Amino acid sequence: MGQTCRNYIGGKWVASASKEVNKLTNPATGESLGEVAMSTADEVRSAIGAAHKAFPEWRRVPPLTRARYLLRLRDKLEEEFDDFAAVVTREHGKAIDESRGEVRRAIEMLEVAAGIPSLMQGYNSEDIAPGIDEYAIWQPLGVFACLAPFNFPAMVPFWFFPFAIATGNTYVVKPSPIVPLTMQKAFELIEDIDLPPGVLNLVNGGPDAANVLMGSREVIGISFVGSSAIARIVYKTAAAAGQRVQAQGGAKNFLTVMPDANLDKAIPNIMTSVYGCTGQRCLSGSVVLAVGDTYAELKRRMVEAASRLKVGNGMDESIEMGPLTTPAKKKSVLDWIAVGESEGAKLVLDGRKLKVAGLPDSCFIGPSISMR
């Protein structure tokens, strides 16, 4: 059972010829979800080629007409909202309501990018000298691509491609090979909106595919989201190839709690910040700074609230926190906790002991709190 992911190139679904595949697993249940091939360099080049070929016609489509395609896709996402969110939870693990939030964000990107007729209007100055006018027009440039992360399989590609195609560019999406099923679903919906072939393309793959996109003279710019170490490499590599780059890296977000904070309201907010999406987001709070005499009370209430969070299969509506997305990601978190202990940190809440009834524990870890 399970799905074999395909590429979507020039308006057609195509199977990859690559023998290198990633097995896909539901991190909560251990169920096999299928597999994804790491596309060959030629396959990536053919996606770039399709986008390149589509650009001259697409840029001539009036912005308002381009916007209508986005609104059609918005309607498709609304129709398939729950199914789409379920794909995210099955392959990523996050609680279903968090997946719904992510799909809602994707829809909002389409809605905002649909304002493109006003958003890309230029500006002008009349009579810069007698009888001479000067003006600026905003023009699309060609093929853009994104290298998307595993933590928001639906939302992150939508941060970029709606704006890219609204402005008249064409696009290649490369999802994370850990969670490629969400974009399979998204592109099934994209297929239904009748975009001209090649305007939006999908290629699956890992670092090799990314390197083809970053080395291509036909790719104007790269959008990346991931760790700081990789963001730095993407920035250097793509810039060296003369591409525009926006590369979002990692984070360590501090939550400062003042003595005059309203803890009744702050505690649930801190819980969502730290434990939402199982901490796998670049906006997660991860250090809580207790200012002055708030420390003892804050510690007591955080431990109490965090130990009540319900952890399990994100498809269950009552679950507040799902698993981490892969066993390797769980191992990495366990390693960090061990580093903390070796430095003298104490776990006042230890999620390593967590067992979820009826589910394999390969990706689960409970809410944890460390202190000096």
Partner 1 sequence: MKIAQEEIFGPVAALVRVKNLEEAMATVNASRYGNASTIYTSSGGAAREYRYGVNCGNIGVNVGIVAPMAFFPFGGRKESFFGDLHGQGKDSIQFFTDRKVVIERWM
363 binds partner 1 (CB under 8 A): no
* Residue list 51-90, contact with partner 1 (CB under 8 A): none
367 binds partner 1 (CB under 8 A): yes
Instruction: Return d(Cα 98, Cα 112) in angstroms, integer.
Output: 21
Beta-bridge partner residues of 147:
174, 224
* Candidate list 340, 360, 361, 362; residue touching partner 1; CB under 8 A: 340
Query: Segment contacting partner 1 (CB under 8 A): 45-53, 87-95, 207-215, 363-371?
Result: 363-371
Three-class DSSP category at 354: coil
Instruction: Return d(Cα 39, Cα 35) in angstroms, integer.
Output: 12
Whole-number Cα distances in Å, 157 to 154, 164, 224, 272, 279: 7, 11, 10, 24, 20
CB-CB contact of 38 with 21 (8 Å): yes
- Give 47 or 363: the residue with its C-beta nearer to partner 1: 363
* Residue list 261-280, contact with partner 1 (CB under 8 A): 261-262, 265-266, 269-270, 272-276, 278-280
283 binds partner 1 (CB under 8 A): yes
Query: Segment contacting partner 1 (CB under 8 A): 8-16, 71-79, 86-94, 342-350?
Result: 342-350
What would the DSSP string read from start to end of 152-209? Answer: -TTHHHHHHHHHHHHTT-EEEEE--TTS-HHHHHHHHHHHTTTPPTTSEEE---SHHH
* Residue list 190-249, contact with partner 1 (CB under 8 A): 221, 223, 227-228, 231-232, 234-235, 244-249
* Element holding 254 (H helix, E strand): strand 253-257
Find where tokens 């926006």 sit: 246
Residue 19, Cβ neighbours under 10 Å: how many? 8
> What is the amino acid identity at position 77?
L
321 binds partner 1 (CB under 8 A): yes
Query: Segment contacting partner 1 (CB under 8 A): 1-9, 185-193, 195-203, 334-342?
Result: 334-342
Question: Measured from the CB of residue 79, what is the shortest distance to partner 1 in angstroms?
Answer: 20
> What is the amino acid identity at position 109?
M
Number of residues that bind partner 1 (CB under 8 A): 108
297 binds partner 1 (CB under 8 A): no
* Residue list 89-148, contact with partner 1 (CB under 8 A): 105, 108-109, 111-113, 116, 119-120, 122, 128, 131-141, 144
- Contact letters for partner 1, residues 163-192 (x by CB under 8 A): xx--x-x-----------------------
252 binds partner 1 (CB under 8 A): yes
- Give 12 or 236: the residue with its C-beta nearer to partner 1: 236
Instruction: Return d(Cα 23, Cα 31) in angstroms, integer.
Output: 11
Residue 23, Cβ neighbours under 10 Å: how many? 10
Question: Measured from the CB of residue 369, what is the shortest distance to partner 1 in angstroms?
Answer: 5
- Give 17 or 136: the residue with its C-beta nearer to partner 1: 136
39 binds partner 1 (CB under 8 A): no
Nearest C-alpha neighbor of 42 from the set 237, 209, 234: 209
Q: How far, rounded to the nearest angstrom, does the alpha carbon of residue 188 sit from its chain's CA centroid?
A: 18
CB-CB contact of 198 with 8 (8 Å): no
Query: Segment contacting partner 1 (CB under 8 A): 8-16, 21-29, 69-77, 362-370?
Result: 362-370
Question: Measured from the CB of residue 20, what is the shortest distance to partner 1 in angstroms?
Answer: 26
Give the active site residues.
282
- Give 34 or 140: the residue with its C-beta nearer to partner 1: 140
- Give 173 or 274: the residue with its C-beta nearer to partner 1: 274
